Amino acid sequence: MTKSKVVFSILNPTHESRILKKNIQVASVQPAEQVLAVATSESKIEQNLSVTGDKLPEHLRPLVENSSERLSIKERESLASVINEYTDIFLGPDGQLGHTDLVQHEIDTGNSKPIKLPLRRLPMTQRKIAETEIDKMLKQGIIEPNTYDMTIQHRKGSAHGNADALSRVPRRRCKREDCQECKINMSCSVNAISKGNNNPSKSSELPDITQSNRVEQWDNEEILRLQQEDSNLSTVMQFLKNGNEKPVVNTSNQELSALLRQWDLLFTQNELLYRKFYEIDGSITNQLVAPRELRKEIMQQLHNNRTASHSGREKTLLKVRSRFYWPLMTSDVARWCQTCPSCAKRKPGPGMGKYPMQHCSVTSPLECIAIDIMGPLPMTDDQNEYIMVVGDYFSKWKEAYAFKE
């Protein structure tokens, strides 16, 4: 035996410290008389899979290979023997599942309610696995494609303006005793939003652009008088009355110049001045050209009113633009929102103090509802000044209830 250094570890099984002195003998080395070959794991598996001289089919070998490591050699042989005896009940090498109609069974759930699980989105890492499994089951005939043909198109939230409560027109008799439609048809349509002016003679004369429950109504005579008293609007109305050709006017008046630059979009209807506004979807909105005396009142109603919710510049401008127009309207609305005392006191600033949007998954009507209370509002004849709005997340159906306190 040659001299060489051997590195080994010493274990102290006691709780007491032990001191090993120099040159102390801790072990002895003896020469090996015989080296035995150790069987590898592969040879053990081959040995375990050998049952009465026969081997398991290739597609069933993983059942024994992947079994518990705690199984002894004898237990592995027993497992392989059982699998080999009942080979016909396992999945075949072609991957096709068998089926039988000799035995039928049912599961008695008693009075237990069906288990209901919410719909959950698969993580991105598992979607590929799910698609692979679905394709595999389709090829094996376990599942079959759907029997209907449909196309799902995404529509962004800004274009989703047809809430169910507004799109449905129920037919029932209203509570007005002087309703002409009820007298003729015995029932009239009661809409989700009614007009603020209950005078049929006046509301029928108003153009569609002023039909709104969120802006105080003016009749045609009053609007016409205010437009004629506005020097810029009266000038443009006189030009339109004289002819269709765009006049050439050299003036330093910015409002008059802005109106003349949009000559092709201006027109008169019922002697009132309107402007055509082309929406993104191609539709045309007729905007009433507001005289100077009404502009502050319009912004007051569409921003400071209790039902206007003190919206920001963009939303307030969108409300005004859907009804009215006047030169330099964008800067006027922006200045109005910036100088609003209530907004300056309560709003922390753009992008601050907002809770992030969350996704709520619902699978059936009335599973989740939203309740909001709006008010105080101007008191009605029944002494009501609050409105409770209840909405269903699934069907988008809305109901409103008026109450006093």
Side-chain-facing half-sphere of 162: CA atoms under 13 Å: 4
Q: Are 234 and 292 in contact (CB under 8 A)?
A: no
Last residue of a domain, one of 301, 317, 346: 346
Domains in the chain, number:
4
Q: Are residues 282 and 188 in the same domain?
A: no
Instruction: Give the domain extent around 275.
Output: 207-346
296 contacts 216 by C-beta, under 8 angstroms:
no
pTM, entire model = 0.41
Long-range contacts (CB closer than 8 Å, 24 or more residues apart) made by 198-201: none
Per-residue pLDDT at 213 exceeds 50: no
The residue among 336, 326, 315 whose CA lies nearest residue 223 is: 326
Does any domain span residue 94?
A: no
The reply to whether 191 and 246 lie within a common domain is: no
Handedness of CA 93, 94, 97, 99 (dihedral sign): negative
Mean pLDDT, rounded, for 105-115: 82
Cα distances from 111 to residues 106, 108, 225, 227, in angstroms, run 15, 9, 74, 74
Do 366 and 337 share a structural domain? Answer: no
Asked if 323 and 394 sit in the same domain, the reply is no
Q: 303 and 231, same structural domain?
A: yes
- Domain assignment present for 34: no
Query: Residue 254 corresponds to which amino acid?
Result: Q
Per-residue DSSP letter, 383: S
pLDDT at residue 132, as a whole number: 92
Tell whether 135 is covered by a domain: no
Q: Name the residue with higher pLDDT: 348 or 24.
A: 24
What CA–CA distance (Å, rounded) separates 363 from 236?
A: 57
179 and 230 housed in the same domain:
no
| C-alpha closest to that of 285 among 200, 194, 211, 191 | 211
Indicate whether 280 and 389 sit together in one domain: no
> Is 248 within the bounds of a domain?
yes
Whole-angstrom distance, CA of residue 396 vs CA of residue 390: 10
Tokens of 4: 């060489």
Q: What is the pLDDT of residue 50?
A: 52
Residue 247 lies in a domain: yes
Residue 262 lies in a domain: yes
Q: Residue 97's pLDDT is what?
A: 65
Which of 89, 106, 121 corresponds to the end of one domain? 89
Same domain, 327 and 399: no
The mean of the pLDDT values for the chain is 77
**299: which residues sit within 8 A by CB, 6+ positions away?**
316, 320, 332, 333, 336
Q: Give yes or no: residues 266 and 339 share one domain.
A: yes
Mean pLDDT confidence for 226-253? 84
End-to-end CA distance of the chain: 104
pLDDT band at residue 174 using 50, 70 and 90 as cut-offs: low
Q: Which of 208-212, 305-309, 366-370, 377-381 has the lowest mean pLDDT?
A: 208-212
d(CA 38, CA 34): 13
The whole-angstrom distance between residue 288's C-alpha and the CA centroid of its chain comes to 35
**pLDDT of residue 390 exceeding 90:** yes
Q: Which residue has the higher pLDDT, 212 or 168?
A: 168
> Residue 193: is its pLDDT beyond 50?
no
Q: Over range 287-299, report the average pLDDT.
A: 89
- DSSP result, 270-329: TTEEEEEEE-TTS-EEEEEE--HHHHHHHHIIIIISTTTTT--HHHHHHHHHTTEE-TTH
Mean pLDDT for the stretch of residues 338-363: 77
pLDDT exceeds cutoff 60 at 139: yes
213 and 248: one domain?
yes
Q: Do 52 and 171 sit in the same domain of this protein? A: no
Length of the chain: 405
Section 182-198 average pLDDT: 48
How does 369-392 read in b/e, with b if 16+ C-beta sit within 10 Å?
A: eeeeeebeeeeeeeebbebeeebb
Q: Does one domain contain both 216 and 311?
A: yes
Average pLDDT over residues 162-191: 53
CB-count exposure of residue 180 (10 Å: 0-12, 13-18, 19+): exposed
Q: Which has more pLDDT, 222 or 207?
A: 222
Taking CA 164 as the corner, what is the angle to CA 159 and CA 168, rounded to the nearest 5 degrees?
Answer: 120
285: burial class by Cβ within 10 Å (0-12, 13-18, 19+)? middle
Tell me what pLDDT residue 16 has: 86
Picking from 137, 45, 57, the residue whose alpha carbon sits closest to that of residue 92 is 57
Task: Give yes or no for a contact between 295 and 223, defined as CB atoms under 8 angstroms apart.
Answer: no
Q: Is residue 145 part of a domain?
A: no
pLDDT interval class at 195 (50, 70, 90): very low
CATH code at position 275: 1.10.340.70
What residues are paired with 399 via a beta bridge? Answer: 390
Model pLDDT, residue 51: 44
pLDDT for 113 equals 80
State the Cα–Cα distance between residues 266 and 274, nearest whole angstrom.
6
* 127 within domain boundaries: no
Mapping DSSP to helix (H, G, I), strand (E, B) and coil, where does residue 126 land?
Answer: helix
Over residues 73-94, mean pLDDT: 84
How does strand 369-374 pair with strand 324-325? Answer: unpaired
Q: Does 217 have pLDDT greater than 90? A: no
According to the model, what pLDDT value does residue 197 have?
45
